[in-house]
Structure 1
Amino acid sequence: MHPFRAAAEAGDRDAIEAMLADDVVFTSPVAFKPYKGKPLTAAILRAVLRVFDDIRYVREISDGRDHALLFEAKVGELTISGCDFLRMNEAGQIEDFTVMVRPLSAAKALAEAMAAEFDQVEREAREVSAGRAAAE
């Protein structure tokens, strides 16, 4: 079992964040441009864990540093199916994270639910970034 899968199914936000490279790039299924950096990606993934109910992974495909983790979850009353595409760096951290989901009705519900979370996502990412800058 891939460690990200285990952490996501357990809702372990700290373990998920620890797996992210500082320069991770996250490509959302509902946003046009990718998000860059660990603070923002970690905040987005925390929001996803708040939005998704009953996330469970149903299949894993791995080829070296590349992994495809197929999942199902609930967004409100709708079942969403998707795939997390992970690319690991040399240190074993996630450097590229792309998500695709279906069907369209569930993707729209996800987009709406994430939009409602995004003020908090941006706040969390700014707080983490400010804390890192102050520590340096």
Structure 2
Amino acid sequence: MHSFRKAVEARDAAAIEALLADNVEFTSPVAFKPYLGKAITAAILRGVMRVFEDFRYIKEIGAADSGDHALVFEATVAGKRITGCDFLHFDADGRIDEFMVMVRPLSGAQALAEAMAAQFEQIQAEAVAQIEREAATEERQAAGS
């Protein structure tokens, strides 16, 4: 079983975040432009964990030594059953640098869009707080050198 799958199934947000590259590009099934960076991607994934019910992966596609993997999932959002796929690309360091999600049917995608829109203020706040913490840590490290 893939390490990302294990982290998601364990609902381990810290382990999921640790698998993301700093420059990860996240392509949402309900947003036109991709989101760039670890902080916003991690915050979005935490939001998804809050809105998905009965989440489970049902299929894993990709050779163990490949940089590309697809994980097919099922979940419920606001009473709508969805099927989706996480398409992951791993960089040379084994971190996810491309993450694209697709879902169906349209009614499920619409329910997901509405649920995530309700989460987005919190998602943005979490991402900004993380960026500020990282900047403060870098400043302290630079001052100490």
TM range (shorter): over 0.9
Deviation at 1:6, TM superposition (A): 1.2
Q: Secondary structure at the match of 1:6?
A: helix
Q: Which amino acid aligns with 1:34?
A: P
Deviation at 1:76, TM superposition (A): 1.7
- When normalised by structure 1's length, the TM-score is 0.98
1:113 and 1:13 map into 2 onto residues whose CA distance is: 19
Q: Which amino acid aligns with 1:37?
A: G
Q: Look up the match of 1:122.
A: 124
- Measured against aligned partners, the alpha-carbon deviations of 1:57-81 in whole angstroms (never above 9, x if no partner) come to 1111114100000000010211110
Q: Look up the match of 1:39.
A: 39
Unmatched runs of 5 consecutive residues or more in structure 1:
none
Q: Which amino acid aligns with 1:105?
A: S
Q: Secondary structure at the match of 1:11?
A: coil
CA RMSD of aligned residues (A): 0.7
What percent identity do the matched residue pairs reach? Answer: 61
1:30 and 1:15 map into 2 onto residues whose CA distance is: 25
Deviation at 1:82, TM superposition (A): 0.2
Q: Does 1:113 align with 2:115?
A: yes
Q: Look up the match of 2:100.
A: 98
Which protein has the larger Cα radius of gyration, Structure 1 or Structure 2? 2
1:54 and 1:8 map into 2 onto residues whose CA distance is: 12
- When normalised by structure 2's length, the TM-score is 0.92
Q: Look up the match of 1:71.
A: 73
2:22 and 2:54 map into 1 onto residues whose CA distance is: 28
- How many pairs align? 136
1:56 and 1:134 map into 2 onto residues whose CA distance is: 37
- Measured against aligned partners, the alpha-carbon deviations of 1:11-61 in whole angstroms (never above 9, x if no partner) come to 111110000000000000000000000000000000000000111111111
Unmatched runs of 5 consecutive residues or more in structure 2:
139-145
Q: Look up the match of 1:25.
A: 25
Q: After the TM superposition, which segments of 4 or more aligned residues of structure 1 sit over 3 Å from their partners?
A: none
- Measured against aligned partners, the alpha-carbon deviations of 1:62-110 in whole angstroms (never above 9, x if no partner) come to 1410000000001021111000000000010000000000000000000
